[in-house]
Amino acid sequence: MKNKAIILREKVGRLVELIAERKIRVTQAGTDAYVRYSKTGVPELVNIPYIPEDASTVFMAAIEGFLDHEVAHVLFSDYKAIAKGNKAGVKELHNIIEDAFIEKKMADTFPGSGLNLRNVGEYFLDEYVEKKLKEGGDPMGLLIVPAIRAWSGQSLYKDFMKDKWHLIPEVVARMGEYAEKTLPGIRSSQDGLNAALEIKKLLELPEEEEGEDGSSKPRKGATKAKSKKGAKGAKAVKMTDKSDEMEGGGADPDSDDSGDSDDSPEMDDGDGEKEPGEDSSEEGEGEDSSEKGGSEEKEDKAEDTGDEGSGDSEKEKESEEKKAPEEEKKSEGEKGKDETSLFDRLMSETEDYGDALSKALSEESRKAMSTAEYRVYSTDFDVIKPLPVNGFDDYMLTDMQKKVDTIVGPLQKDLERAIAARSAATWASGFRSGKLHAASLARLTTFGDTRVFRRKHVGDTKDVAVTLLIDCSGSMCNDGKIRVAGQTAYGLSSVLEKIGINHEVLGFTTVCDGKLWNLIKKEKDPYSYARSEPLATYVIKEFTERLNNENRKRFACVASGCVNLRENVDGESLLIAATRLDQRREKRKIIMVLSDGQPACPPGNRNGQLKKHLVKAVKTVESHGIETLGIGILTSAPKNYYPKSVVLNNLSDLPTTVIAEIKKLLVPA
């Protein structure tokens, strides 16, 4: 009976119970997969998208794996160690290592989750990593997650990385040996943190590597940064240091008052003014003497010109002083850009596994929802509970029993006779084992046919379970429909109990509290969803109950209309009833629906989702061996949805119309 979407929803319920003590909520709503964290970094809510009934198997398997992954974090992660990692600057790296650890722990603790985690891993590699690589994404950032998981020992990622290690040579060279040796032995979040800190050190090593002759040489990626340094660069640094000393002494190097050449002897020690980028005086020992002389001659000329020439010279020197720090700043900026550590570059390009997976699943969910025939935002607010006995008065029960009990006796006897006739023992011949059948012996002597035995068959007509499902919608208030439905359900329940047939009685409607609609209104197209209210499935009598005073009051409340009569979502309500019935051990199962026949719950009426879904739901239920009968209360509308249907205009029609159909179901020919 259950399709994979229903099974997955039930699994969510079990996981909620599993992690309830950790105060973590698991929800199914909308089209986004996400985890919400508290201020301390502890998850407080895990949301998975609502799964349409016709969603792909691959998508549902990935959702199931995503859920197992997040539950594994809740069960096995040490958030104190994770907080330490965040402070130590290894948040992303530690999380990648932690993901591999908790998945291994989850699979060891709950063996069934291993397949789910592999499924979601395949989805992540196919729908995120491979796609991004084909789009030209940076291999280093995309492959670090699969690489660490491969080094941790996960076979799926080992296979994936076989032909991709060459795409991240720097990462492999720096941390490969350590990771392959250490990561498979991670046993706790603290172990993962220790490994993350060590890997960070390996990735932050100076950009030099040992040459074949034992000498050091620049690593790939560091050459460009080193080429920007030189003797002139050293001189610029020296000048900047000096400027700092000047600032400390109270003299402003940019001030007009600092133009005296005697205040800055470092700027002119006999070599003359130097343009940025020229060699330092230490490197100029072999300079041509004529060049030096030219420089001295230039100084003499400046002195001969008087104050004007001296002023120009001072301005040029001042300009040089200003340029030097600016050039140094530029040089330092380029240095920071070019000499960013491999660790920083790697982490800046890497997206968290959970975040990447959430995006991929959310995108897939939106696609699935856009093509779904029936769209529900969430079932989280749906309720299944005993019918509240509100506004009950004793006269309601007395009045119902007075009208119904008089017809129960004849109905009971009629059904009992039919069942007894069908249950009578019969003999069938033509078997090769059993009790010898004398009349068949001639077959053995004449034709050599050994099928001369017979067997006794006893009818088993009571090996059946029945569900009565009552439409408790607002339209049932009209013309006393709800009264007829309630009285009929009580009468049928009384008869079924007297003849010993296990049965359950349910009522269905919706809850008007605005919670679901307030969430739906935030969607782009809120009117694309089938319903705006949560379902309410009310238990009037359970399978395990006998008729008693308490459940008789519930029948009386229905018959008197003392129910919160809202909308009717027949298809989903039928599937809920069928799922409960499917758990019974009886060989035959029957659902009888008492309704005025037209599903209604805005906004689903706009595009006919509710009606189409009811047709599909009936076919689904019937295909799983559960027979259905639509009992139209003052209407023939159920014939549009159910293969077998009857019309009931009032309680007095019960013996002539409904019981005739029930006999066909309970006592088939």
Strand partners, 242: none
User: What band does 21 get if pLDDT is binned at 50, 70 and 90?
Assistant: low
Strand partners, 566: 473
**3-state SS assignment for residue 168:** coil
pTM of the model: 0.71
User: What band does 473 get if pLDDT is binned at 50, 70 and 90?
Assistant: very high
The predicted pLDDT at position 299 comes to 43
Portion of the chain with pLDDT greater than 90, in percent: 51
Tens-place pLDDT, residues 52-67: 888 888 998 898 899 8
Tokens 């035959």 -> residue: 588
The predicted pLDDT at position 112 comes to 85
Mean pLDDT over 532-560 rounds to: 96
The predicted pLDDT at position 635 comes to 94
Tens-place pLDDT, residues 326-335: 555 444 444 4
Portion of the chain with pLDDT greater than 70, in percent: 74
pLDDT at 177 over 70: yes
Residues contacting 294, CB < 8 A, separation 6+: none
User: What band does 208 get if pLDDT is binned at 50, 70 and 90?
Assistant: low
User: What band does 251 get if pLDDT is binned at 50, 70 and 90?
Assistant: very low
Give the C-alpha separation, 555 to 193, whole Å: 62
Contact 541, 467 (CB under 8 A): no
pLDDT at 278 over 60: no
Mean pLDDT over 139-162 rounds to: 96
Phi, psi of 218 (to 5 degrees): -60, 140
Mean pLDDT over 525-543 rounds to: 94
Tokens 């019935």 -> residue: 581
User: What band does 466 get if pLDDT is binned at 50, 70 and 90?
Assistant: very high
**Least confident stretch, 229-243, 449-463, 606-620, 625-639:** 229-243
Mean pLDDT of the chain: 80
Strand partners, 378: 29
In 10 A of CB 381, how many CB atoms?
17
Which tops the pLDDT comparison, 660 or 553? 553
Residues contacting 609, CB < 8 A, separation 6+: 373, 374, 375, 530
pLDDT at 322 over 90: no
Mean pLDDT over 423-441 rounds to: 69
User: What band does 317 get if pLDDT is binned at 50, 70 and 90?
Assistant: low
The predicted pLDDT at position 657 comes to 84
CA atoms within 13 A on the CB side of 452: 14
Contact 145, 154 (CB under 8 A): no
User: What band does 358 get if pLDDT is binned at 50, 70 and 90?
Assistant: very high
pLDDT at 457 over 90: no
Which tops the pLDDT comparison, 546 or 285? 546
| Region of residue 272 (left: phi > 0; alpha: psi -120 to 50; beta: else) | left
pLDDT at 293 over 50: no
Tokens 């492999």 -> residue: 172
Contact 93, 196 (CB under 8 A): yes
Give the C-alpha separation, 549 to 532, whole Å: 35
Mean pLDDT over 611-637 rounds to: 95
**Least confident stretch, 25-29, 478-482, 551-555, 620-624:** 25-29
pLDDT at 400 over 50: yes
**Least confident stretch, 209-213, 249-253, 550-554:** 249-253
Phi, psi of 107 (to 5 degrees): -65, -35
The predicted pLDDT at position 269 comes to 40
Strand partners, 541: 505
Contact 468, 492 (CB under 8 A): yes
**Least confident stretch, 124-133, 439-448, 514-523:** 439-448
User: What band does 99 get if pLDDT is binned at 50, 70 and 90?
Assistant: very high
pLDDT at 629 over 80: yes
Give the C-alpha separation, 178 to 181, whole Å: 5
| Virtual torsion, Cα 44, 190, 98, 10, nearest 10 deg | -40
User: What band does 496 get if pLDDT is binned at 50, 70 and 90?
Assistant: very high
Tens-place pLDDT, residues 104-148: 999 999 888 999 999 999 999 999 999 999 999 999 999 999 999
The predicted pLDDT at position 422 comes to 58
Give the C-alpha separation, 142 to 130, whole Å: 9
